[in-house]
Structure 1
Amino acid sequence: MSSESHVPKFANEIEIVPLTAAFCAVASVLHTDGFEDHWSEDEMIALLDVPGAFGFLAFAPGNDAENQLDIPLGFIQMQTVLDEAEINTIVVAKQARKCGVARKLLSATFDRLRETGIGRVLLEVADDNTSAIALYRHNGFVEIGRRKQYYRRKSGRSVDALVMERDLGLCVLGWDR
């Protein structure tokens, strides 16, 4: 996959595949787009090796006729335990934001979780990440707690983490579409 600047403008051009070790180098590069403390390829592989872990990669399909490669757009990495799941990370490439990538990743994730009997999804998000918070709220997550000074920025500034959850029983109302 290439990281060229061509990005789809319509959600129907975004494809989702399982995140495997083969895509962890791509995922690591994408992670640098979203986080100061990004994960290496080896860290990504180790996270996927944990029991109950899985993820999805979003990409824009290339075009052989025009000699265009697939373009990675974002990914999500999850951990499940019993009947709960936690979003460890979700990242969308800067040039692909506001194109429906995160929504498609969340939808694929919710579908998989429902298939495996998971009833609740948790996440932590920096309270200054307003775009992510808006995305999560739009997708049925509600704030259930706060962790004071949970994240430390490279500047030395501390930021609280919001703890959010979503009951997957709400999916029947169509909140994930």
Structure 2
Amino acid sequence: MSASSHQPEVEDGIEVVPLTAAFCNVASALHAEGFEDQDCWSADEMIALLDVPGAFGFLAFAPGNEAENRLDIPLGFIQMQAVLDEAEINTIVVAKEARKRGVARKLLSATFDRLRETGVGRVLLEVADDNAPAIALYRDCGFAEIGRRKRYYRRKSGREVDALVMERDLGACVLGWGD
């Protein structure tokens, strides 16, 4: 993996760089791992999503070490779309072995910073109501539930799961979040 001209953020051994077409194969593999019980996006589908006006994303990875012959390790990504003063997170995925290490928070922080720069004040997302760890993270990051979509997700097993619709006001100060 190589970063674009954007200078990567480095904290706790995690770098965050813009998600580009060059990283969509990696992002597609992460998506398949993170949503193994659902249909996942191919690299081509991700590239098409990034081509939509207002769409962007970030990729988080642990940098390798050339001297130790260690490659970069992809940790997660976020993909979203902004329209006027509102944005929606289309997906956020963290590799199983990287969960609970702050990867999602770093991705969200980079996203919120970019959205504020472009005048976006509200972020929306949908999350399966059976995904307790993600719901807890979103609440901790200042999102609040504003609705529910019945039987929105269909698992490969055929089971249908409701989606919680959550929002966050980017102008609001959230204690403990520090963004």
TM over 0.5: yes
Moved over 2 A (4+): 171-177
Aligned residue for 1:170, secondary structure, equals coil
Q: How many residues align?
A: 169
- Give, as a single letter, the amino acid of the residue that structure 1 aligns with 2:39: D
**1:62 counterpart residue number:** 64
CA distance in 2, matches of 1:38, 1:154: 11
Counterpart selection for 2:75 from 70, 73, 76: 73
CA contact (8 A) 2:150 2:163 kept: yes
Letter in 2 for 1:105: L
Over the residues paired in the alignment, what is the CA RMSD in angstroms? Answer: 1.5
Cα distance in structure 2, aligned partners of 1:142 and 1:39: 27
Point out which structure has higher relative CO (alpha carbons under 8 A, 6+ apart): 1
Deviations 1:96-117 (A, max 9, x none): 0001000000000000001110
1:88 aligns with 2:74: no
Partner of 2:4: none
Counterpart Cα distance in 2 of 1:157 and 1:88: 21
* Pick aligned residue for 1:104 from 106, 115, 131: 106
Gaps spanning 5+ residues in structure 1: where? 2-10
Shift of 1:154: 1.1
The question of whether the paired residues in 2 share the 8 Å contact of 1:106 and 1:176 is answered with no
CA contact (8 A) 1:110 1:168 kept: yes
Percent identical among aligned pairs is 84
**Could you tell me how far 1:169 is from its partner in structure 2?**
0.7
Residues 141, 166 of structure 1: 8 Å contact kept: yes
Q: Are residues 176 and 76 of structure 1, via their aligned partners in 2, closer, same or farther at CA, if it must alter by over 3 Å?
A: farther
TM-score normalised to structure 1 length: 0.92
Amino acid at match of 1:47: L
SS in 2 for 1:169: coil
Unaligned runs of 5+ in 2: 2-10
Find the counterpart in structure 2 of residue 119 from structure 1: 121
Q: State the alpha-carbon separation in 1 of the partners of residues 57 and 133 from structure 2.
A: 21
In the other structure, the counterpart of 1:136 is: 138
Mapped to 2, the partners of 1:58 and 1:171 lie a distance apart of 25
**2:28 is aligned with 1:28:** yes
Contact 1:110/1:176, CA 8 A, preserved across alignment: no
How far the C-alpha of 1:67 sits from its partner, in A, is: 0.8
Q: Distance in 1 between matches of 2:97 and 2:40?
A: 18
Equivalent residue, structure 1, for 2:16: 16
